[in-house]
Amino acid sequence: MLHLFCVPSDCDVTDFFYKKALQQKFEETVLVASSEALVEKARMQGIRAANFDALANAVTEQCSAQLHERLVVRKISRKAQELILQDILDRLQEEGRLPYFGRMSGKKGFIRSVVSLMEQIGSCGATAEEIETAFAHWDGRSPAYRQKDREIAEIYREYLLYLIQNNIYDMSGLYRVAAEELAALRKAGGAVTWKALYFMGFYRFDALQLVIIRLLSQICDVCIALPYEPGRPELYRAAEFTYGDLMQYATRERLPEVRVSVRTASLHHIVRNLRSPEMQPVPADQGIEIWQMSDENEEMRAVLREIKQQLRGKTLKPSEIAVVVRRMEEYSGIRELCDQYGIPVQAEDSAALVASPVFHFVTAILETVFLHGREKVERWIAFLTQPLQKIVLELPTEAVIQLAENNYYTEYRKFLTDVLEKTGCEGLRQLWQEIDAIPAEAAIQDYCDIAGRLLSLTEMPAKAGRLYREGKITLAGFKNMVCASREILALLQKLPQDYRFCRSGRQTTNCAGFVEALADAAGKMSLSLQPENREGIAFLSAVNLEDASFKQVYVLGLRENEFPFYKDENWIYNDRERADLAVLGIPLPSSADGFGEDIHFFMNACAAATERLVLTFYTDEEHNASPYIAEILSLFTDLEVKEIKAETAAEDSLSREELELALARSGQTEVLKQLEPGLAESAGSDRKRLQKAAGWNGNPGGAMLLQQISRQIGDLFSASKLETYRSCPFKFLVTYVWQQKAAEAAGEDMDPMQRGSLLHRVLEIFIRRHLEEKLQQAQYAELQKELDEIFDTVCQEYADKGWLYPGDFWQHDKEQQRILLQRWLRSEIAYNEQGEWRPVSTEQVFGKKGKGEVALDINGRRIYLNGKIDRIDRAGDAYFITDYKSGDAPNKKEFADTDLQLPLYLLAAAMQTKGEVVGGGYYSLKDAERKESFIFPPAAGTVPWKTFSEAKDANGTATDIAAMEDLQATLWRVLGDMLEHIGEGDFSPTPSKDCERNCPAAEICRFRVLTRNREEEDPNG
């Protein structure tokens, strides 16, 4: 019998369920809870408790023991799933059975997507036949998509077959086995040993879990507590499917006298009325607050400061406070901050295994194996100069550095002989022999054995222990080394098991392949450096808050894309396709499910507070406040967002770091010096930067250094190199002398540069096919088809080269780009029909690899220009140059000032073209329009688009540019000035309002920090 208890958001059925469970005999009942925390809590009450996985395992065991010989099936890891699916895809591809996915099948990202899709299909409980039937009845599919469906069905069938043949199961496989065994047991009239089962803490069950519950309810009593209120569909969307399914056979039970959690009036109002159709706003009390801070660091500090004050004043116990975030990985620094403030916290102190020096040590050993010549020497240098070598080999790394700096080795044996001679390090001699014996190819198992043996040989834990006792390394360093050694050894044991079921486990691989496999397997592992303190404040993810209760709850990170956090479902089937599949009986999760889950998590976070709830956020250029903030504000008539600053005066500091910061801010350098040598110097650095003091203004001194910088800059300039200096000399120094690049955020969407390059490539191919042709409206359909085909080919080329990731984002973006190109074509035809200008060349390179030297003699110095002119058009003997822009085109008032590209390209084209270059301009792809076109006055009116003929100086005064000589004179003035300043070593930063976005120097010039300080110092400025 199945009993369903629908639990409103302000009720807590924990005690009621505990009481019911305790009325049964211990061995005849199980309380199944959604999280380990809830399982643990129930066990503390003397109740037999388990999670769903453990229940499924127990079901399988009980059933198989009664039906036949005990089933021996093994669970495989996600890595093993990936490897198995990789094998299947490789085989299908070899047999020519993957024409749709063919090119993608070897890509890592694709394998992961397939694994996740297989899990999602598996969780629906669908068999291979059911999937094939559903696909066969899917109307309106194009032939290409039908092929995709066939391939997915085939992969799924092969995958399930493989699992069955090898007696292994994946995540959903366990539930499938349990459901099948349970069905067979029921048919055979058997029974389980339990009389009653209680499910709590779940807000939804997947299809296979629901099957297990239904079958169990036919042989024992099953009670389920489900958070659900029929009148609030917006709040309980995540539970809707489960509720509907359970109600097909459950008895809906009335809640008895369960405890309605006691909350302040405001908190009660939130819990009762969030997303309620009948909500009426009320005045807020002190139970709810919303804080806005300037950045993430301030956000965490402000919260921890307040907690520290409360703990110090003993107004609350640590265990009465919870700090809640949506995703723990976004707040990895909070544990360290808690330590700084001396706040005990119920969270492990952990570190990523791949970031550990011990992991680097192991991979560095292996990396020396597969290289040759100078590259091999460089790996050895990197390996022997790791700081860890002072401990492991007791090697004086300074001596190694000196040798490497004074000699250019191309033979690693010579380098190692010299190191041995200079240092006499016997450990190195032994290690060298061991490393030389590592085979270039071996099975994964063999490499794991070798790596494990080498790691054991280093005796790292013993050496670290000795150094810690001698006070030479910190406790954290000691723990990191010991834990990392232990985890790596465990990983080396486990890795062969993952590979056991796949082809690459049976074949040999090279050492580089093994290093990649090791890094991949270690990717998500972390080291536990300090166990959690059970008496501390709770630091929790909103995902794990079922039935949690605290006097005070801080919910951090309430900003767009963070909370709510929507993850895109697997791109192989988009949301529209998922909706179709749900109708066909395959309910795969969709983004809409994500919305429903997220609001449930937010409600849990709010409901966890009984006395005070503080919601915090910060905003930046990219993300605003979370929409949940607006929802909470709308519940009250007078609730306001408070702007909170975590900055403190020295006397109010609550941690050493706060004290140091406060002293630095107030310029108390003497006190700082006593506190920490070296801190006073760095504390004053920003002040010096602001005052442009020598050494802090970006201007290197010394003739020798300037000479070296000048050599590094060289004589070859591109327009963007010159424009960089013009916009900010310090950025120029960091980019072209220090050779630093702006860090790009990794993501599925294509970066704008890559997108621009793709469009350029498409237009290049298209225009090259139509040089000197007049395009006409009558040809539009044909030309559009051609442009489309070129676009598809170039997209495929980019995907093959790994320059774009063909995920969901790109599928959407791709269609946008297609539309943009079609609009460009219309506009191109219109320009063609209005005038005589026809393209005569595309992507014309100058000044590169001996192509068309462009030398400029400016103030006695010769420099060379290089670049590529996107397109040159001709009308008679006159030429007009064009630069495509996928973003914004520079404004005409920047011409020959910060926009140097157009005038320099005009000059370069004039030096290279026999006819007369009369002008040039930008072609905005996003607006499908020619823009900001310069033209010498005699030719004005010969082009059918808007032009200008003057340049403005720094004061905004416009001067006519009548001929190429005028343009040259203007450019000579600007370039001469720049070259002079470069020669003098003037590299001061010149901040502007949008300069920090792509600048590789932003963290060094501290533009963001300094600008903020300045604003604070001079609010009117």
3-state SS, 965-1021, equals HHHHHHHHHHHHHHHHHHHHCCCCCCCCCCCCCCCCCHHHHCHHHHHHHHHHHCCCC
Pairing mode, if any, of strands 251-253 and 2-7? parallel
Please tell me the distance from the alpha carbon of residue 935 to that of residue 929, in angstroms, as a whole number. Answer: 17
Stretch that binds ligand SF4, among 532-540, 902-910, 964-972, 998-1006 (CB under 6 A): 998-1006
Please list the residues that pair with 842 across neighbouring strands: 871
Question: Distance between CA 813 and CA 926 in Å, rounded?
Answer: 13
Minimum CB distance to ligand SF4, residue 738 (Å): 11
Tokens of 206: 């997947």
Bridge partners, 931 (sequence order): 922
Q: By C-beta, is 840 or 1004 nearer to ligand SF4?
A: 1004
Q: How far is the CB of 990 from ligand SF4 (least distance, A)?
A: 6
- Comparison of 180 and 996: residue with beta carbon closer to ligand SF4: 996
Q: What minimum distance in Å lies between the beta carbon of 736 and ligand SF4? A: 12
Judged by beta carbon, residue 728 or residue 889, the one nearer ligand SF4 is 728
Bridge partners (DSSP) of residue 952 are 958
Q: Within 13 A of 731's CA, how many CA atoms are on the CB side?
A: 21
- Nearest Cα to Cα of residue 647 among 151, 124, 142, 295: 295
Compute the distance between CA of residue 608 and CA of residue 271 in angstroms, rounded to an integer.
10
445 token code pair? 């198992």
Count of residues near ligand SF4 by CB under 6 A: 13
Choose which of 996, 1010, 1011, 1013 interacts with ligand SF4 (CB under 6 A): 996
Nearer to ligand SF4, 633 or 728 (CB): 728
Which position among 507, 924, 1005, 1018 is part of the footprint of ligand SF4 (CB under 6 A)? Answer: 1005
Task: Kindly tell me which of 415 and 730 has the beta carbon lying closer to ligand SF4.
Answer: 730
**CB 884 to ligand SF4: min, Å:** 25
Q: Whole-number minimum distance, CB 1012 to ligand SF4, in Å?
A: 13
For residue 858, give the H/E element and its range. strand 854-858
Our CB check for ligand SF4 shows the closer of 57 and 990 to be 990
Segment lying near ligand SF4 (by CB under 6 A), choices 617-625, 637-645, 828-836, 1000-1008 = 1000-1008
Whether residue 387 has a cis bond before it, omega within 30° of 0: no
Name which of 566 and 738 has its Cβ closer to ligand SF4: 738
Shortest CB 999 distance to ligand SF4, Å: 3
Restricting to residues 551-610, name those near ligand SF4 by CB under 6 A: none
Structure tokens at 562: 């963070």
CB-nearer residue toward ligand SF4: 718 or 866: 718
Question: With respect to ligand SF4, which residue has the nearer C-beta, 730 or 766?
Answer: 730
Q: Phi and psi for 835 in degrees, rounded to 5?
A: -150, -175
Least Å distance, CB 587 to ligand SF4, is: 49
The least CB distance from residue 1004 to ligand SF4, in Å, is 7
With contact defined as beta carbons under 8 Å apart, do 305 and 654 qualify? yes
**Are 98 and 92 in contact, with CB atoms under 8 Å apart?**
yes
Q: What is the DSSP string of 878-944?
A: EEEEEEEESSPPPPGGGBTTTB-HHHHHHHHHHHH-SSEEEEEEEEETTTTEEEEEEE-GGGTTSSS
**Does 736 participate in binding ligand SF4 (rule CB under 6 A)?**
no
Among 263, 578, 731, 814, binds ligand SF4 (CB under 6 A): 731
Q: Toward ligand SF4, which CB reaches closer, 914 or 997?
A: 997
Choice between 309 and 992, CB closer to ligand SF4: 992
The DSSP string of 779-818 is GHHHHHHHHHHHHHHHHHHHHHTTSS--SHHHHHHHHHHH
Q: How far is the CB of 623 from ligand SF4 (least distance, A)?
A: 20
3-state SS, one letter per residue, for 137-150: CCCCCCHHHHHHHH
Closest contact distance (angstroms) between CB of 868 and ligand SF4 is 25
> Measured from the CB of residue 991, what is the shortest distance to ligand SF4 in angstroms?
4
Classify burial at 16, counting beta carbons within 10 Å of its beta carbon; exposed 0-12, middle 13-18, buried 19 or more: buried
Minimum CB separation of residue 52 from ligand SF4 in Å reads: 51
Q: Judged by CB, which is closer to ligand SF4: 571, or 732?
A: 732
Nearer to ligand SF4, 897 or 996 (CB): 996
Which of 690, 691, 659 minimizes the C-alpha distance to 676? 659
Query: Closest separation between CB of residue 890 and ligand SF4, Å?
Result: 16
Q: At closest approach, how far in Å is the CB of 728 from ligand SF4?
A: 3
- Among 370, 514, 539, 1007, the residue binding ligand SF4 under the rule CB under 6 A is 1007
Per-residue DSSP letter, 49: E
Q: What distance, in Å, lies between the first and last C-alpha atoms of the chain?
A: 73
428, 709, 902, 1002: which one contacts ligand SF4 (CB under 6 A)? 1002
Spell out where 503-635 has E strands.
Answer: 508-510, 526-530, 537-541, 550-555, 609-618
Closer of 350 and 727 to ligand SF4 (Cβ): 727
Separation of CA 202 from chain center: 29
8 A C-beta contact, residue 488 and residue 440: no
Q: Please report, as residue ranges, which positions from 932 to 951 form the binding site for ligand SF4 (by CB under 6 A).
A: none
CB-wise, 517 or 728, nearer to ligand SF4? 728
Q: By C-beta, is 612 or 731 nearer to ligand SF4?
A: 731
Comparing CA positions, the residue from 550, 627, 609 lying closest to residue 234 is 627
Minimum CB separation of residue 899 from ligand SF4 in Å reads 16
Residues in contact with ligand SF4, shown as a per-residue x/- string from 699 to 728 under the rule CB under 6 A: -----------------------------x
Residues 966-995 contacting ligand SF4, CB under 6 A:
989-991, 995
User: Interface mask (CB under 6 A) for ligand SF4, residues 431-460, using x and -?
Assistant: ------------------------------
Burial of 686 (0-12, 13-18, 19+ CB in 10 A): middle
User: Rounded to the nearest whole angstrom, what is the least distance from the CB of residue 682 to ligand SF4 in the complex?
Assistant: 19
Closer Cβ to ligand SF4, 71 or 1010, answer by number: 1010
Complex with ligand SF4: residue 71 or 1009, whichever CB lies closer: 1009
Determine which residue in the list 110, 730, 736, 936 makes contact with ligand SF4, applying CB under 6 A.
730
Residue whose C-alpha is closest to residue 789's, from 753, 827, 762 = 762
Judged by CB under 6 A, the stretch of 125-133, 215-223, 261-269, 1002-1010 that binds ligand SF4 is 1002-1010
| Contact (CB, 8 A) for 368 and 547 | no
Least gap, CB of 720 to ligand SF4 (angstroms): 14
> Side chain identity at 995, as an amino acid letter?
C
Give the bridge partners for 540, in sequence order: 324
Give the H or E element holding residue 688: helix 685-690
| Closest separation in Å from C-beta 685 to ligand SF4 | 15
Question: Interface residues with ligand SF4 (CB under 6 A)?
Answer: 728, 730-731, 989-991, 995-996, 999, 1001-1002, 1005, 1007
